[in-house]
């Protein structure tokens, strides 16, 4: 049972309908009466009020949808999307205005919070989407899934393919039926290649990185929030190499005086995980759990050369030690430990995905350090009706930094013309 409230706003040339639905926390247990709010903004441009719906599923897990402003913070793809669709910007459960998870929740106790988080997975997000689709009166709609949003789209195709028109994936064709260890091990290979590629361009920075690691080992890098940066946290700066212009972030830091305020503040803001969205840290490895416990998968699969060569950058590789060394994560230590031991249920149904008849298009980034191309291509074989665009022109954030959606819509529409 759901209840709903709607508010309509005008933002420059955009009409934004804000919908808040109250839905069950646990969809499949009628004896559990807990509820949460799920928020979505439906955005249209004048003349586009009757266009079909496109729901955007954000990356993460743990990040809210972008807001529809004409500013540098506005999603670069929104104008293209609005030419074809009314765009539904969904705050996935636990984020933004959808009953967000935060430090205040820890007063309930770690076990209660960990149990609560187990109900915020992609399969539950799909049920929220279905409630929202029905609320909007749409028989079907299309989906744009960025990164984890693409994972959620695969879960959607596993259970409710009849609700979907075109599906668009951008760096979001997850491994299906693979253990998280397989994924994180391959992500190390991707980060090794990205590290060496960076040092080929800037060979002097390898020594600069060694000097920074020595400072970190000595406890001499202290961020403005009080974090004493460990070598593993310092190396996670390499996560920036997974974006189109992230090398500039790395370059700027390795050029700075590490004793300066500018270095400390810039390093703090460059860290891939922080306290703004604690779910992204505590819940992250679960996004690759398709019937397994993760048990700190990224930590366990670290190759020997990463253990011996501290200049090799890491990406979305989470470390258990950060629950002890990062002030923002210390309160979440017991939650993270419980989630790492949790035996997750299967979330994808390969046979259902293959039988879904899905149409659309997918961007697979050849050098993606977060969602490896090899496993994306495996998954793509389950989706013969989804046109594939494999490219090295963009990194994982291509949707936000280039005309990726334009190309995908052209592919999907071209298939219909043929």
Residue from 178, 179, 129 nearest 157 by CA: 129
Q: Which residues of the chain have pLDDT under 70?
A: 1-2, 70-74, 415-418
Domain end marker among 341, 372, 402: 341
On whether both 173 and 188 belong to a single domain, the answer is: no
In this prediction, residue 72 carries a pLDDT of: 52
φ, ψ (nearest 5 deg) of residue 350: -60, -40
- Tell me 160's DSSP state: -
In this prediction, residue 231 carries a pLDDT of: 97
Domain end marker among 325, 341, 357: 341
- CA 18 from centroid of its chain's CA atoms: 23
* Predicted TM-score of the model (pTM): 0.95
Decide: 399 and 146 in contact? Cβ < 8 Å. yes
Measure CA of the first residue to CA of the last residue in the chain; give whole Å. 43
On whether both 398 and 410 belong to a single domain, the answer is: yes
Residue from 6, 140, 2, 25 nearest 93 by CA: 25
On whether both 211 and 275 belong to a single domain, the answer is: yes
Residue 2's CB is within 10 A of a number of other CB atoms, namely 14
Structure tokens at 93: 């459960």
On whether both 238 and 355 belong to a single domain, the answer is: no
Residue 202's CB is within 10 A of a number of other CB atoms, namely 14
Residue from 93, 86, 153, 168 nearest 398 by CA: 168
On whether both 321 and 367 belong to a single domain, the answer is: no
On whether both 284 and 231 belong to a single domain, the answer is: yes
Alpha helices in 77-160 (DSSP H): 78-82, 110-117, 122-136, 148-159
Spatial separation of the C-alpha atoms in residues 228 and 264, rounded to whole Å:
11
On whether both 171 and 184 belong to a single domain, the answer is: no
- CA 255 from centroid of its chain's CA atoms: 29
Q: How many domains does the chain have?
A: 2
On whether both 23 and 167 belong to a single domain, the answer is: yes
On whether both 275 and 381 belong to a single domain, the answer is: no
On whether both 158 and 210 belong to a single domain, the answer is: no
SS3 call for 155: helix
On whether both 245 and 333 belong to a single domain, the answer is: yes
Residues near 381 by beta carbon (within 8 Å), at least 6 away in sequence: none
Spatial separation of the C-alpha atoms in residues 168 and 150, rounded to whole Å:
8
Structure tokens at 341: 């031991």
Alpha helices in 283-403 (DSSP H): 297-300, 304-308, 322-325, 333-341, 350-355, 373-380, 398-401
Q: Which residues of 76-97 are buried (b: 16+ CB within 10 A; e: fewer)?
A: bbbebbbebbbbbbbbbbbbbe
- The domain that holds 142 is classified in CATH as 3.40.50.1820
Residue from 270, 262, 211, 210 nearest 246 by CA: 270
Residue 359's Cβ-side half-sphere holds a number of Cα atoms within 13 Å equal to 13
Domain end marker among 293, 325, 341: 341
Decide: 136 and 4 in contact? Cβ < 8 Å. no
On whether both 191 and 332 belong to a single domain, the answer is: yes
Residue matched to tokens 């779910």? 279
DSSP string, 204-247: HHHHHHHHHHHHHHTT--B-TTS-B--HHHHHGGGGGGGSTTHH
In this prediction, residue 416 carries a pLDDT of: 59
List the domain range (segments joined by +) for residue 200: 180-341
In this prediction, residue 5 carries a pLDDT of: 77
């Amino acid at each position: 049972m759901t209840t709903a409230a709607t508010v309509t706003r005008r933002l420059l040339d955009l009409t934004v309908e804000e919908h808040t639905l109250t839905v069950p926390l646990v969809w499949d247990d009628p004896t559990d009466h807990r509820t949460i709010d799920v928020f979505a903004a439906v955005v249209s441009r004048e003349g586009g009020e009757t266009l079909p719906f496109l729901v955007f599923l954000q990356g993460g897990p743990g990040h809210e949808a972008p807001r529809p402003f004409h500013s540098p913070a506005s999603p670069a793809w929104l104008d293209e999307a609005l030419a074809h669709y009314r765009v539904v910007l969904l705050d996935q459960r636990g984020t933004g205005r959808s009953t967000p998870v935060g430090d205040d929740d820890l007063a309930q106790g770690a076990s209660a919070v960990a149990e609560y988080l187990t109900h915020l997975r992609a399969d539950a997000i799909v049920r929220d989407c279905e409630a929202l689709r029905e609320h909007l009166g749409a028989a079907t709609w299309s989906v744009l899934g960025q990164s984890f949003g693409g994972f959620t789209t695969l879960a959607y195709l596993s259970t409710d393919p009849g609700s979907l028109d075109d599906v668009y994936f951008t760096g979001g064709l997850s491994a299906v039926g693979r253990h998280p260890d397989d994924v994180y091990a391959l992500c190390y290979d991707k980060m090794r290649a990205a590290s060496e590629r960076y040092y080929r361009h800037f060979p002097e920075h390898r020594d600069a990185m060694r000097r920074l690691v020595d400072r970190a080992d000595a406890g001499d890098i202290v961020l403005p929030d009080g974090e004493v940066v460990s070598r593993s946290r310092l190396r996670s700066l390499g996560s920036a190499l997974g974006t189109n212009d992230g090398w500039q972030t790395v370059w700027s830091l390795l050029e700075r005086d590490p004793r300066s305020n500018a270095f400390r503040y810039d390093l703090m803001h460059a860290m891939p995980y922080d306290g703004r969205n604690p779910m992204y840290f505590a819940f992250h490895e679960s996004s690759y759990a398709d019937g397994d416990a993760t048990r700190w998968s990224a930590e366990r699969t670290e190759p020997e050369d990463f253990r011996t060569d501290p200049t090799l950058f890491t990406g979305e590789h989470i470390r258990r030690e950060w629950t002890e060394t990062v002030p923002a994560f210390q309160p979440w230590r017991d939650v993270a430990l419980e989630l790492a031991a949790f035996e997750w249920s299967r979330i994808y149904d390969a046979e259902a995905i293959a039988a879904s008849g899905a149409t659309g298009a997918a961007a697979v980034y050849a050098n993606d350090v977060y969602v490896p191309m090899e496993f994306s291509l495996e998954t793509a074989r389950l989706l013969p009706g989804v046109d594939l665009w494999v490219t090295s022109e963009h990194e994982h954030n291509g949707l936000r930094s280039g005309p990726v959606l334009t190309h995908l819509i052209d592919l999907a529409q071209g298939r219909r013309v043929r």
